[in-house]
Structure 1
Amino acid sequence: MSEIAEIFGSVEIRVEKLLKKLNSLEANLLQKQSELNKAENIIKNQENEIEALKKACESLKMANSLLGSEENKRDTKLKINSLIREIDYCITQLSD
């Protein structure tokens, strides 16, 4: 009978160790999920900031070319022509 009690005690100890390990892993998982969420938020914020900076850069390029800069003059002319076509299209749509 004592052998069964020893085996049962050994199993009980192993189960307790496994439960402690499980709790530890669950806590670690929650921490990692929290860190992942923070990282995802940082990435989203940085992507938004990059988009805003790209738009600002385009605006600055256009302003430079309008001020006489030769570097982006062609791009600015193309953009202006594109805007004029869009305006003409809108006027046509409103006229109908």
Structure 2
Amino acid sequence: MSQISEIVDSLENRISKLLHSHQKLKQTNAKLEEENENLRSQQEQFQNEVEKWREESSSLKLANSMLGSDEYKRDTKLKINALVREIDQCITQLSE
């Protein structure tokens, strides 16, 4: 009978340890999920910021090309030609 009692005690001990480990793992998992969500949010903010900087960079390049910067002479000429074509089309439409 004492042997059965020892086995039951041992099983109770193991079950208690497993439940304790399970609880710790659940807490750790909850913390990691929260951290993961924070990191996703931060990543989205960074992506938005990168997109904003890309747009600003593109705007600055366009402004430089419009100002006739030596580096962007070809782009400036192409942009002016495109604008002239648009104006010609508007004049044509207005005259009809």
Give yes or no for TM over 0.5.
yes
Q: Name which one, 1 or 2, has greater alpha-carbon Rg.
A: 2
Q: What percent of counterpart residues are identical? A: 45
TM-score normalised to structure 2 length: 0.78
- Listed as ranges, the gaps of 5+ residues in structure 2 are 89-96
Please state if 1:71 is matched with 2:64.
no
Name the aligned partner's letter for residue 13 of structure 2. I
| Secondary structure of residue in 2 paired with 1:71 | helix
Q: How many residues are aligned here?
A: 89
CA contact (8 A) 2:68 2:76 kept: no
Q: Which residue of 2 aligns with 1:48?
A: 48
Return the offset for 1:2.
0.8
Return the offset for 1:16.
0.2
Name the aligned partner's letter for residue 65 of structure 1. S
Q: 1:45 to 1:79 in 2, by over 3 A?
A: farther
Return the offset for 1:86.
8.6
Q: Which residue of 2 aligns with 1:94?
A: none
Name the aligned partner's letter for residue 67 of structure 2. L
Name the aligned partner's letter for residue 41 of structure 1. S
- Listed as ranges, the gaps of 5+ residues in structure 1 are 89-96
Return the offset for 1:85.
7.7
Give the aligned CA root-mean-square deviation in angstroms: 2.6
